[in-house]
Structure 1
Amino acid sequence: MKILSWNIRGLGGMEKKKEVRDLVKEKNPWFLCLQETKLGVCDDFLCASLWGNSPHGYSFRPPVGASGGLLILWDVVEVEVWFSVSFNHVLMLHGRFVKSNETFYLFNVYAPCETNAKQALWGSLTGQLQLLSGQEICVCGDFNAVRADERLSVRHNVRNPDMIPFNQFIEDNCLVDIPLCGRQFTWYKGDGRSMSRLDRFLLSEDWCLTWPNSVQTAHLRGISDHCPLMLSVDEEDWGPRPLRMLKCWQDIPGYKQFVISKWNALQVEGWGGFVLKEKLKLIKSALKQWHTFHSMNVPGKIASLKERLAELDSKGEDDELIVEEVDELHSTTSDIHSLSHMNTSICWQQSRLQWLWEGDANTQYFHSVLANRRRRNSLSSIMVDGVRVEGVLPLRQAVFSHFSFHFRARGIERPTVDGLQFGTLSVTEGGSLVKPFTVEEVKAAVWDCDSYKSPGPDGINFGFMKEFWNELQVDIMKFISEFHRNGKLTRGINSTFIALIPKVDSPQKLNDFRPISLVGSVYKILSKVLANRLRLVIGSVIGEAQSAFVKDRQILDGILIVNEVVDEARKCKKELLLFKVDFEKAYDSVEWDYLDTVMQKMSFPFLWRKWIKECVGTAIASVLVNGSPTDEFPMERGLRQGDPLSPFLFLLAAEGLNVMMRAMVQSNFFTGYSIGSVSPKVVSHLQFADDTLLLGSWANVRALRAVLVLFEAVSGLKVNFNKSMLVGVNIAESWLAEAAAVLGCVVGKVPFVYLGLAIGGNPRRLAFWDPVLSRIKAKLSGWKSRFLSYGGRLILLKSVLTSLPVYALSFFKAPSGKEFGGLGVRQLREFNVALLGKWCWRLLVDRGGLWYRVLVARYGEVAGRLVAGGRRDSQWWRVVAKIRDGDHGSGGSRLFELSEHQTSTVAAMYRLGWEEGGTAWRWRQSLTAWELEMLPECRTLLVDIILQPNIADLWRWRHDPGGGYTVKSAYLRLTTRDHHEVDTMSTLLWHPQVPVKVSVLAWRLLRNRLPTKDNLAVRNIIPLDFQLCASGCGGLENAHHLFLSCPVFPHYGAWLELGLVCLQLSRILYRNILFSLLAQQEWGAPDVCSCSLFGYVVFG
């Protein structure tokens, strides 16, 4: 299936007609949709000149005035068109594809340029599309609107007013904008500066489910200033796909016994690594055959069973079934249920959704997610050296050549790091790295891995490892122990699949993909064990400027430091230069000899270095091209993203830059920024893995470039100066432009993005939160709700709010917690306070980091407490200090405000004496009567305290059993309503063993939120006189009538065979709904059984 869409910009000239004819001849489409034909009439002769002599049909809409005009031609051999309809700016066809018999609706659109006319078009199109919900719909053409700023040329920095209405139109109609292949833009003005993406195909989710491999490609433009677009279905055979172990196998009777018996029967001799690899290979081969019989083509098996069920039903209508047929009827129904559950589980696993389980979405939702992910990651064409590469073999060869060269050693003689002073491990720390491996740490490494994520070349996931640990343990420990002794890996254990993940919406080149390595399960166990050991000691050799993957350091540390530096520079009118470094393919570029030299300088044991050299140096890889691997090639440099060891090894490599910068500062070749005035702290650079920010004086520019070039020469990490950014605070723009020219980088301005957050922005302005709001809207796409139950939608909402906790707090009206009648969605204001409260805790217990010393340098410290309240305090510090000082103990903030000892410790108050008459109680003014009443309460809290001089004081967070601060406990403290007793109904309603969709149904029923006719009438969805029950009983339809008092209800119960369903429902589920409904006064015990079961079957 191929659909061509093109804004031809006038079809009157012979050149245009010839160009269209040549394109049709080359692409052989089923449909040709032309916009802006500017033709008043269209006849058979014109269409034949465009399509050729083959049989075709056409539909035409003339232009309005001098512009517009729409034409659709189609191949009558492939397509049967039933009718066409046209209205302003739209030409629509309805018909079917002859071979597949699938129906379709095709809309050809040419949108006007005027904003008001465009919005009117979106409204009329929405009216048509919503009447066709659930159909296969394709909307194509020139929409004269863009979806986002990045769709415009970078030279267009003016916000497009048509963007929001166009995006809303797509969202309202649940349309899918699939990625564009071929180029980024579709319209070019011709001046080399103005370009945008005005043309596109928009597909309904049902179209995407029917043709999940739909691809949208932009082709070369000629006379027209628009590029022709083609929608096609990728039906190429990209090669065999590796077998993936399925979670649903665990539910198939006999699976566990089959694996155990096969494993115990395997006899393989050799080294431990070879034995384990071969056994897993053999068990995988056996499981492949077992899978063919038990779990392959589940949808086809369901269809066959349904056909047999229909035959039995038909026979039962004419004659009474015999006993064997009745048994077959029951077994067939049971098999359909089991296979349907299996199919849902398979689709869930393939969709790779971590936040949603099978019970809260239907199979179509998982199919939609899977199809959307495959579209996003698919590779149908790519640009290589300016030439477009298409087709299976050329693409596979291009991918192989690119990545085999990318990971090839450059063979350059590099400078050494002999003169640099690195941190070193102690003898004890080095010994902890190479001590014998234990079963406990190996098992902990296995259980720390996700059970069902994509496996590597061996096809074994960790769900299999965990389930059959008793059988695999001996062979795994033999492999691990032998590696400890000889430091060698058997060939094949270190094989890797490289998955290509797009970094942009419409990738055009192979550099637009991020190579993520899927390592084998056996190697991953070893790598995870080594990474867990390295994690414990790496803080001893990594400088304080690095905040990634080191214990007690966080990503927000660097954000806090740079935010304080920029804030002080702006408020104190101090000059500040920031250089945001962009490393080109950082992980992929690390030279192994350099890494080994760094570990040697850091006093890593020789045996450890031998292990690491084996782990990184024996890797071989193949690239997955649309799910099928290419030929293998050896990796000669780089660290694999996806290997548990890689993040920590990269820190060791990146430490070279930290050491160089420190040496430059000590030698006065680089001047960092000095924050604070009394006891200033110099900050010269910050790192989070490869995200590097250099800070200092404007005189540093040439030294800055020199140190980065030197680091590149030493380590292999190449700085991409074209994508790096120079930002100045209180520095003339002319000088910044000159400095940027020296560095070869771009000039940025405050606020700028560092580690995903805007530095120097104003969080009180709505525009500050635009990036977060955009991400939330993307996660809450309209099409998702169509395939999700209410429980699934609730989990989706919670997932988004959990992963994106910091955003515009006014975005949602905060609901109540579950126990207070709500749905348990987080109250964002309180959650934000709980997150910021973690800083208050760290100010007390974590004072060894660079971030704390920066705060002390800027604000000062009195009696171990940072000073707050200055007029130049940053917005962040004002908020945190207010949380810290907001509620001063149980004695009340009023007494604290009047005390003359606000900075005193408990020990100091004890020595002064807090008994009646003691000198600890000194006030700024006389206390009122109600203030005097608060004083005994404070004394009561303090009277039992016993000071022990020989024992160090510790801070404890009393709202958590462990004594340490947690965001969860703080949030519960902020949201718990002590005066409200949580009843049993809420506990049962939201019991964890009850499917969320069932709990949501009960919640909606009890809150009168079901779409009964009385509720629909209140919302003006139906007329007030349309509220009678659909059963024809004459009563008004509301929840109570529908579930309890309607006289037709018992017949529905018999039809649904509720007695059979009751036996299948879990006791907890039944008790959940039972007690929930009993808690409501209008629901009596006799009513509960029928309505709860009915609701579960119909709505659950």
Structure 2
Amino acid sequence: MKIFSWNIRGLGGMEKRQEIRKLVGNQNPSLLCLQETKLQCCDSAVCTSLWGNSPHAFSYRPSVGASGGLLTLWDSSEVDVWASESREYVLWCHGRFIKYGEEFSVANVYAPCDPGAKQQLWDSLSERIQALGRSRVCVCGDFNAVRSLEERRSVSGRSQSLDHISFNRFIDDNNLIDLPLCGRKFTWFKGDDLSMSRLDRFLLSGEWCLTWPNCTQVARMRGLSHHYPLILAVNVEEWGPRPSRMLKCWKDVPGYNTFIKDKWNSFQVVGWGGFVLKEKFKMIKMALKDWHKTHTQNLPSGIESLQDRLAALDEKEGDVVLSDVEIAELHGVTLDIHSLSRLNASICWQQSRSRWLSEGDANSKYFHSVLANRRRGNAISSLQVGNATVEGVDPIKQAVVCHLASHFKVVNVERPGVDSLNFKRLHPPEVSSLIKSFSLAEVKAAVWDCDSYKSPGPGGINFGFIKDFWNELQGDVMRFIAEFHRNGRLTKGLNATFIALIPKVESPQRLNDFRPISLVGSLYKILAKVLANRLRLVMGSVISESQTAFVRDRQILDGILIANEVVDEARRAKKELHLFKVDFEKAYDSVNWGYLDVVMGRMGFPTLWRKWIKECVCTATASVLVNGSPSDEFPLERGLRQGDPLSPFLFLLAAEGLHVLMEAMEAQNLFTGYSVGDSAPISMSHLQFADDTLLMGTKSWANVRALRAMLVLFETMSGLKVNFNKSMLVGVNIPDSWLGEAASALCCRVGKITFLYLGLPIGGDPRRLSFWEPVLTRLKKRLSGWKSRLLSFGGHLVLLKSVLTSLPVYVLSFFKAPSSRYGVERGRLCAGGTRGSAWWRELARIRYGGGETEGGWFGGHISRKVGDGSDTFLWTDPWVDGTPLCERFGRLFDLTVNKSVLVADMFLLGWGGGGGAWVWCRPLRAWEEEMLGECQALLLTISLQAHSSDKWLWQPDLDGGYTVRGAYQLLTNQDVVPLDAVTRLIWHSQVPLKVSICAWRFLRDRLPTKANLSSRGILPVGDLHCVCGCGVVELAQHVFLSCSTFGSLWSFVSSWVGSSFVTAQTLSDHFVRFTSSAGGTRARRSFMQLI
């Protein structure tokens, strides 16, 4: 399957037709989608000139004059298209891939430039996609829109167009997946090649990606058009064997433990402890590979064959009485299906690496999608090496190995010594603690500190296996550790490493766009973890207080707090302050080993310890995982591996040289730090968190020259290269002209307040909505539509809880967010009240009690009094007659571009009839203009107070304000629905989440019974009877209680739990029966086991 999409910008010339013909001949696409053909008529002759004489068919939409035009061609021997439909700006084709037998729908799109017409196109596409249901849908073409401002570049400055908002909403609403683009970052270039954007793309439905999980999107070289042609293809290239992985589910297979113990005890290996363990691991891995083939390989086909056998036995049972042997087989087949299904679900969970979702949850489709999505994101189908594009298995592998081998190759230069620098030194007791004998307790603690099922290194043995069989492995492991203590040597191959390339950007094009992460072997990791645990205890003695990473009793927020305080103090005191944010190029990968050893010597580390560290660092070899397959091995000559437990601490030792240099410069008056405070000033010159370094000082050319000289000297000493082009100079109370000259001298960029340091904004105002936009963007990305749609109800709730309790925590640990202002849009989360969906209001009522008070008990009794309007949101705050404008003028709120605009900003722009404050997603219709006039008339009656601040009012007591007593009286006067016994039962910790969700929907009458489906217009009124044929309307209470077929099951349940069965009047009463004291403890426990 291969689909081409290209905005050809006119097919009138023979040159472009020949170019397409050549492209078709070389690539053999299944479908070809062309945009902007500028043809009012298209016939077979034109299509033959494009496709050639091979079998083909076509459908087209004519252009309007010399504008637009769409053409879709397909290989009729590979594709069977049975319907096509032409709509404005889009050409749909519905058919089937003959080879795969899978049906599809492909939309060829050429979007207009006008925002209003573009919105109409998004609405039209959404309507058609939703009508197709869960089909394989591909929407491709020129969308004339980008997804973010980073996808558009211009020499005249960044475009301020907001078309990405509606475009992203269209993608999210339809759960479409935007694949990473390989080959290029942009797909359209202006004629002068100075302006560029990513306007073209493929958008796929989740069903499409599940059917073809290996599909990739690649940009080819552009020819006579300003647009690059795009190819959507299934990557079927064989990249070589993949390393085998141990599965968590193996220990659930009967006989697995006995098999491992017998095999391990049968191995006879002679040699050093490390060699013995390495060989035994290799042999157990080979044995498990054969065992896996007979027990857990290809589980889906095994489940399918068992299901076929079960169906055959069920069919036979309907005709004749089964024999005892067949009845036993029937029970055995059923148990085998459940057992294999659990094993298969466990494998899916482990491969998806979705640790936030519990194993055993029924989300296999989601796990498959996560796995496919991650592989697509990490896949390398083409690379830019220099000015050339590299494709194919062998060329890409060769390019990757050459790049990384040279990257980790040492550069032989004469390096300055560090003898004249004053490093802090270890105390004698700390020296002894580093080289004392290794105990069983610290080795075992190191093993249990490691994650059981994370990706192992080349050995293929994970820590889950080591923990499960620790009693068998303990003797060999302790012998290996003890021998290393004596001789300080590692067996060859024990320190081998896999390097995984993790993309740093959305669509990586070059190898510098990937971050190399090392997967070290489990045996080496045990040793490194033991050494790292010892090193951690003494780091505080040799690392300065300016470094806040990986040192006990220090935390990342220390540096952020100090940086913000320095900036705020400079602003208040009108002092001149410059900050230089240093960007180290591949910091971990470029540390010089000789420099690191000399620094440890200057810090007083003993010779034996330095020998151990040198062995751990210098014997490392690596092979790169290219699309999952390891490359040839090569030695490492410099750098610290990201993934090695020792690396963070060793890097701090190397980075301490920068601190020592800064202190030396200050002591010799070569650099002047920034003085904080007046009565007892403290000089601040630098902050460090691992390689994230922020240098600060007063405004002077001497400081600029000293910074440049110091950084160059540190680079020469340590090998840590400073990337001046990505570094940034920021000034507070410093003229832009001086900053520009200083930045030119430093060869760096000029930044502005606010800027990011350690992922948090420095100098920002957390009271403004724009401050929190990055957090909301990350939340929306994690809660993307395709994830929500593929998850079960329970999985969806767990995802919400995981995201909302983890992502914002870092920001909220430092900055206080304004209350009741923010939420995730599109109905997933909301602030409650009338702006929330019905299910959210019901959930809030159950969770917190209370009635249907809009906005909650607190929000419904406060209003906003506007002064200068600088701290009040125009649309969402209740500042006009106690009601938000978004509720009074909901249609206008939906259409406005800036939903978080402040009252003061709107007033300054002019909110009257001739003002420029109103910016809409599309032109307003007549009735919407009338609504706008009503809104403007209301606003013109309001005047702002220039020297008065905005404030909140407590409506029940405008004079006295809010008090706890007043709030208590307000609440006690409301009807509160408490958490009852039913709620406590269904949300019990012993009840599986999916059962709790089902019971909750059951009690709230939210199940899709025929009566509910009919009330929503999904089923006709005449089709409401129960599916069992009893002739009664299918209500939830009837199906679960009073139905003669299904309801009779409760009599068996009552007998089993030891209580009498009496039909309850309501569903709640039915549940309460099993939680009341009359039922007894045994009955309640039995009922919990049942559900």
Q: TM-score, normalised by structure 1?
A: 0.81
Q: Deviations over 1:240-283 (max 9, x none)?
A: 11110000001100000000010011111111101111111111
Deviation, 1:988, is: 4.6
- Is 1:764 matched up with 2:757? no
Using the alignment, how far apart are the partners of 1:293 and 1:1061 within structure 2?
43
In structure 2, the residue corresponding to 1:698 is in which secondary structure?
coil
Asked if 2 retains the 8 angstrom alpha-carbon contact of 1:107 and 1:138, the reply is yes
Alignment counterpart, residue 758 of structure 2, candidates 735, 743, 755: 755
User: What letter corresponds to residue 756 of structure 2 in structure 1?
Assistant: V
Asked if 1 retains the 8 angstrom alpha-carbon contact of 2:1003 and 2:1068, the reply is no
Using the alignment, how far apart are the partners of 1:185 and 1:326 within structure 2?
64
Using the alignment, how far apart are the partners of 2:1087 and 2:758 within structure 1?
51
- Is 1:165 matched up with 2:162? no
Give 1:527's aligned residue. 528
Alignment counterpart, residue 995 of structure 1, candidates 992, 995, 999: 992
Asked if 1 retains the 8 angstrom alpha-carbon contact of 2:172 and 2:784, the reply is yes
Give 2:555's aligned residue. 554
Matches within 5 A, 1:911-922: none
Question: Which stretch of structure 1 is more off in the superposition, 795-804 or 250-259?
Answer: 795-804
- Is 1:781 matched up with 2:784? yes
Give 2:1071's aligned residue. 1078
Give 1:897's aligned residue. none
Q: Deviations over 1:749-805 (max 9, x none)?
A: 000011111111111111101111110000001111222122111111111112122
Give 1:417's aligned residue. 418
Give 1:95's aligned residue. 95
Give 1:734's aligned residue. 737
In structure 1, the residue corresponding to 2:750 is in which secondary structure?
strand
Give 2:712's aligned residue. 709
Using the alignment, how far apart are the partners of 1:358 and 1:66 within structure 2?
58
Using the alignment, how far apart are the partners of 1:1076 and 1:476 within structure 2?
60
- Is 1:253 matched up with 2:251? no
- Is 1:676 matched up with 2:677? yes
Give 1:934's aligned residue. none
Question: Which stretch of structure 1 is more off in the superposition, 196-205 or 14-23?
Answer: 14-23
Q: Deviations over 1:17-38 (max 9, x none)?
A: 1111111112111111001111
Asked if 1 retains the 8 angstrom alpha-carbon contact of 2:430 and 2:538, the reply is yes
The structure-2 alpha-carbon separation of the partners of 1:43 and 1:1004, relative to structure 1 and needing over 3 Å to count, comes to same
Using the alignment, how far apart are the partners of 2:257 and 2:778 within structure 1?
42
Deviation, 1:487, is: 0.5
Q: Deviations over 1:42-65 (max 9, x none)?
A: 111100000001111111111234
Give 1:1005's aligned residue. 1002
Give 2:870's aligned residue. none
The structure-2 alpha-carbon separation of the partners of 1:1014 and 1:676, relative to structure 1 and needing over 3 Å to count, comes to farther
The structure-2 alpha-carbon separation of the partners of 1:424 and 1:23, relative to structure 1 and needing over 3 Å to count, comes to same
Using the alignment, how far apart are the partners of 2:191 and 2:1054 within structure 1?
68
Using the alignment, how far apart are the partners of 2:806 and 2:684 within structure 1?
31
The structure-2 alpha-carbon separation of the partners of 1:735 and 1:119, relative to structure 1 and needing over 3 Å to count, comes to same
User: What letter corresponds to residue 766 of structure 2 in structure 1?
Assistant: P
Give 2:138's aligned residue. 138
Using the alignment, how far apart are the partners of 2:552 and 2:751 within structure 1?
33
Question: Which stretch of structure 1 is more off in the superposition, 169-178 or 780-789?
Answer: 780-789
Asked if 1 retains the 8 angstrom alpha-carbon contact of 2:346 and 2:360, the reply is no
Asked if 2 retains the 8 angstrom alpha-carbon contact of 1:271 and 1:479, the reply is yes
The structure-2 alpha-carbon separation of the partners of 1:1022 and 1:552, relative to structure 1 and needing over 3 Å to count, comes to farther
User: What letter corresponds to residue 76 of structure 2 in structure 1?
Assistant: V
The structure-2 alpha-carbon separation of the partners of 1:1091 and 1:329, relative to structure 1 and needing over 3 Å to count, comes to farther
Using the alignment, how far apart are the partners of 1:775 and 1:183 within structure 2?
24
In structure 1, the residue corresponding to 2:360 is in which secondary structure?
helix
Give 1:540's aligned residue. 541
Deviation, 1:819, is: 13
Deviation, 1:332, is: 1.8
Give 2:57's aligned residue. 57
Q: Deviations over 1:860-906 (max 9, x none)?
A: xxxxxxxxxxxxxxxxxxxxxxxxxxxxxxxxxxxxxxxxxxxxxxx
Asked if 1 retains the 8 angstrom alpha-carbon contact of 2:981 and 2:1075, the reply is no
The structure-2 alpha-carbon separation of the partners of 1:1032 and 1:811, relative to structure 1 and needing over 3 Å to count, comes to farther
Q: Deviations over 1:695-739 (max 9, x none)?
A: 001211111111000000000000000000110111110111111
User: What letter corresponds to residue 463 of structure 2 in structure 1?
Assistant: F
Give 2:114's aligned residue. 114
Using the alignment, how far apart are the partners of 1:378 and 1:1063 within structure 2?
55
The structure-2 alpha-carbon separation of the partners of 1:1062 and 1:687, relative to structure 1 and needing over 3 Å to count, comes to farther
Deviation, 1:143, is: 0.7
Using the alignment, how far apart are the partners of 1:570 and 1:1047 within structure 2?
78
Give 2:587's aligned residue. 586
Give 1:822's aligned residue. 847
Deviation, 1:600, is: 0.3
| Aligned residues between the structures | 933
Q: Deviations over 1:1016-1059 (max 9, x none)?
A: 677787899987766676655543333223445348x69xxx97
Matches within 5 A, 1:422-501: 422-501=423-502
Alignment counterpart, residue 728 of structure 2, candidates 704, 725, 729: 725
Give 1:888's aligned residue. none
Asked if 2 retains the 8 angstrom alpha-carbon contact of 1:9 and 1:36, the reply is yes
Q: Deviations over 1:408-430 (max 9, x none)?
A: 11111211111100000000011
Asked if 2 retains the 8 angstrom alpha-carbon contact of 1:1017 and 1:1024, the reply is yes
Deviation, 1:337, is: 1.5
Give 2:5's aligned residue. 5
The structure-2 alpha-carbon separation of the partners of 1:778 and 1:662, relative to structure 1 and needing over 3 Å to count, comes to same
Give 1:744's aligned residue. 747
Give 1:76's aligned residue. 76
The structure-2 alpha-carbon separation of the partners of 1:378 and 1:315, relative to structure 1 and needing over 3 Å to count, comes to same
In structure 2, the residue corresponding to 1:63 is in which secondary structure?
coil
In structure 1, the residue corresponding to 2:153 is in which secondary structure?
coil
Using the alignment, how far apart are the partners of 2:3 and 2:1078 within structure 1?
61
In structure 2, the residue corresponding to 1:595 is in which secondary structure?
helix
Using the alignment, how far apart are the partners of 2:178 and 2:724 within structure 1?
33
Unpaired stretches in structure 2, ≥5 consecutive residues: 824-830, 833-839, 850-855, 857-975, 1058-1065
Using the alignment, how far apart are the partners of 1:1034 and 1:766 within structure 2?
57
Deviation, 1:287, is: 0.6
Using the alignment, how far apart are the partners of 1:589 and 1:387 within structure 2?
26
Give 2:392's aligned residue. 391
Using the alignment, how far apart are the partners of 1:1089 and 1:1012 within structure 2?
33
Cα RMSD (Å) = 3.2
Deviation, 1:193, is: 2.3
Give 2:296's aligned residue. 295
In structure 1, the residue corresponding to 2:847 is in which secondary structure?
coil
The structure-2 alpha-carbon separation of the partners of 1:1042 and 1:319, relative to structure 1 and needing over 3 Å to count, comes to closer
Asked if 2 retains the 8 angstrom alpha-carbon contact of 1:581 and 1:719, the reply is yes
The structure-2 alpha-carbon separation of the partners of 1:1063 and 1:543, relative to structure 1 and needing over 3 Å to count, comes to farther
In structure 2, the residue corresponding to 1:556 is in which secondary structure?
helix
User: What letter corresponds to residue 43 of structure 1 in structure 2?
Assistant: D
User: What letter corresponds to residue 690 of structure 1 in structure 2?
Assistant: D
Give 2:690's aligned residue. 689
Deviation, 1:10, is: 1.0
Give 2:794's aligned residue. 791
Unpaired stretches in structure 1, ≥5 consecutive residues: 830-978, 1065-1072
Identity of aligned residues (%): 64
Asked if 2 retains the 8 angstrom alpha-carbon contact of 1:91 and 1:109, the reply is yes
Using the alignment, how far apart are the partners of 2:103 and 2:308 within structure 1?
23
Deviation, 1:102, is: 1.4
Give 1:16's aligned residue. 16
Asked if 2 retains the 8 angstrom alpha-carbon contact of 1:989 and 1:1076, the reply is no
The structure-2 alpha-carbon separation of the partners of 1:493 and 1:990, relative to structure 1 and needing over 3 Å to count, comes to farther
In structure 2, the residue corresponding to 1:607 is in which secondary structure?
helix
In structure 2, the residue corresponding to 1:652 is in which secondary structure?
helix
The structure-2 alpha-carbon separation of the partners of 1:780 and 1:263, relative to structure 1 and needing over 3 Å to count, comes to same
In structure 2, the residue corresponding to 1:758 is in which secondary structure?
strand
Asked if 2 retains the 8 angstrom alpha-carbon contact of 1:816 and 1:823, the reply is no
In structure 2, the residue corresponding to 1:822 is in which secondary structure?
helix
Deviation, 1:291, is: 0.5
Deviation, 1:436, is: 0.6
Give 1:931's aligned residue. none
Give 1:896's aligned residue. none
Asked if 1 retains the 8 angstrom alpha-carbon contact of 2:1041 and 2:1047, the reply is no
